[in-house]
Structure 1
Amino acid sequence: MSSSAGSWLVRAMPAVFIPVWSTGFIVARYGMPHAPPLAFLSLRYALSVLCFLVWIAWARPAWPRDRAQWGHLAATGILMHAGYLGGVWAAVRFGMGAGTIALLVGLQPVLTAVWLSRQGESHRVSPRQWAGLVLGLVGLLLVVWHKLGAGEVTAWNLALALAALLSITAGTLYQKRHVQPCDVRTANAIQLCAALVVTLPFVPFEAGAIDLHPHLLGAMAWSVVGLTVGGSSLLYLLIQRGAATQVTSLMYLVPPCTALMAWALFGEPLTAVMLCGMVLIAAAVALVVRAPARGPDTSA
């Protein structure tokens, strides 16, 4: 592959990642009525590991040789899969509306920036990026505001949503700091195995059973192939290549993209206020990711 083609693929990764990652709430809407959340996620992790192992057996990429890297990858898998997805799905299962949890998880860029700004000059978040982060938060509120009353917020589902937010933020920062570049297939296999080991013991305590409804089968197929094999691999590569603040700012684009999908698939309303919010979010992300290369958190 030529260097120009490789560079084009790198630039295209965010544009592919956002719509793929945004299907997460669509999948939840299809699959949630037919399976308890942790049972669904455990099966998703197991099938995803199987897919990666088949891919690895065919391509024969190198596994990490450093035992410490196996530990770091396992830690990120627990945080970014078991913690994040488990928290999101469980919060929705216990009554939190999709708009509410999208807003809470959408705070990740701000939480990341606050953390990095306290780590010293080498991690400083520039005024331009702060402006973009605040603008993105305003846009996010405009996009999901009409949904905030859709689900009842309780102490329990709020705790689950905040646990998901902290998990994805900590996992992103941890991977950027501790995980050395390695093959994305072997890295994902290790991460997902760790997530499965942590999640599976909680499945027997859930109420309900898996119903092999066509909606569940479709949701599971896309969760494995699209979200885990595709989306998680892209997220891993984006974190390896980009600064933490720049990567997490892309998460601002997920709720508006999800809103567009829900409008197209389910006829959910798309108002002028929501469209204004999407424009603000796009401008905000541009402010963050176009910051000078020598600027903030490049060593995070």
Structure 2
Amino acid sequence: MTAPALSLPRPLLWPLMAVALVLCWSSGFIGIRYASESAGVGLVLFWRTLVAGLILLPFALLVGPRMTLRGGIEQCLFGVMSVFLYLGGFALAIGARVPTGTVALISDLLPLAIAALSQPVLGERLSVAQWAGTAVAVLGVLIVSADSLSLGTAPLWAYGLTVASMLGFALASVLVKKRPGLRMPLHQSLCLHSLTGAVLFGLCAGWQGTLAPPLTMSFALGIGWLVLFATFGAYGIYYSSLRLFPVARVSAVIYLSPPVTMLWGWALFGEPLTATMVAGLAVTLAGVMLTMRG
């Protein structure tokens, strides 16, 4: 049976998807915060990807076209870049004593890397207004992140790892857009991405200790949040948006992730909300709007 087509008018579709994307993308830290109270980041990432992949597996096998070996291998490679290297690289960098604020800032520069790659790889040339909006959005991210930035004492390779993790996801994003003929239905590709990450994170977490999950409410709540919002929501909406809209436009809304994350922390955990953070949110929003108009 064919799923009913989405009937929203096209002018309304992107704003609604953009709002949902930034809310889900920025909410990932909530699940990490809950789950990491009783487990290391490696174990959290293993159970996040394993649970997500197992939930999607029966739908991937029974709903949609039959998966081919070539398509499966390619999706697994995308999973290495967009799940294992992206999430695991940042976790390893933090474990190597790269300050969390610095890791978050490099992660949040993902749209800048995608904008830079979209022209040589996809031929999507950004206008002057879009580049100006990108610069303003980056400035807003810097304002929001200023208080949490520090150099730390980590080795140089750990800082390079954060940049490589971000660039790997940016490259995966433009390659997905460049090769539409090899796309799978979203539930199938996301299933393979998640299971690929689960295998690799499982090897890493198993090498460090046990794979058994802590039997605590905070861990269960955190994993549930990460699977529902940060995996199904964020990755699902992101890949769906890439199939409908230019990659630079889709990635630009991720600039709003740091200030919206700040709002999540203020609303749920009572974290301080300063005038500087609010100013950074306003600047970032202005930059994203300028990029959209361009």
TM-score (norm 2): 0.87
Indicate how the Cα distance of structure 1 residues 191 and 213 shifts in structure 2: closer, same or farther if over 3 A, else same.
same
Q: Trace 1:140-159 onto structure 2 (pairs within 5 A).
A: 140-149=141-150, 152=152, 154-155=154-155, 157-159=158-160
Q: Report which stretch shifted further, 261-270 or 64-73.
A: 64-73
Whether 1:28 aligns to 2:29 is: no
What's the offset of the Cα at 1:223?
1.0
Once the two structures are superposed, residues 101-142 of structure 1 have per-residue CA deviations (whole angstroms, 9 ceiling, x without a partner) of 22111111222222334458x332211111011111100000
Instruction: Find the aligned partners of 1:225 and 1:119 in 2 and give their Cα distance.
Output: 32
**Cα contact 2:117–2:171 (8 A) shared by 1:** no
Equivalent in the alignment of 1:177: 178
Aligned to 1:62, the other structure's residue is in SS state coil
What's the offset of the Cα at 1:32?
2.3
Instruction: Find the aligned partners of 1:64 and 1:75 in 2 and give their Cα distance.
Output: 19
Equivalent in the alignment of 2:216: 213
**Cα contact 2:32–2:226 (8 A) shared by 1:** no
What's the offset of the Cα at 1:84?
0.8
What's the offset of the Cα at 1:172?
0.9
**Cα contact 2:117–2:174 (8 A) shared by 1:** no
Equivalent in the alignment of 2:231: 228
Equivalent in the alignment of 1:63: 65
Q: Aligned letter for 1:148?
A: L
Indicate how the Cα distance of structure 1 residues 47 and 182 shifts in structure 2: closer, same or farther if over 3 A, else same.
same
What's the offset of the Cα at 1:175?
1.2
What's the offset of the Cα at 1:249?
0.9
Q: Trace 1:262-277 onto structure 2 (pairs within 5 A).
A: 262-277=265-280
* Number of positions where the alignment pairs a residue of Structure 1 with one of Structure 2: 287
What's the offset of the Cα at 1:6?
6.0
Structure 2: gaps (5+ residues): none
Instruction: Find the aligned partners of 1:287 and 1:24 in 2 and give their Cα distance.
Output: 26
TM-score (norm 1): 0.85
Q: Aligned letter for 2:35?
A: G
What's the offset of the Cα at 1:152?
3.0
Aligned-residue sequence identity (percent) comes to 25
Once the two structures are superposed, residues 54-78 of structure 1 have per-residue CA deviations (whole angstroms, 9 ceiling, x without a partner) of 4446xx4313655443333222211
Equivalent in the alignment of 2:245: 242
Equivalent in the alignment of 1:116: 118
Whether 1:166 aligns to 2:170 is: no
What's the offset of the Cα at 1:2?
7.2
**Cα contact 1:64–1:182 (8 A) shared by 2:** no
Structure 1: gaps (5+ residues): 292-300
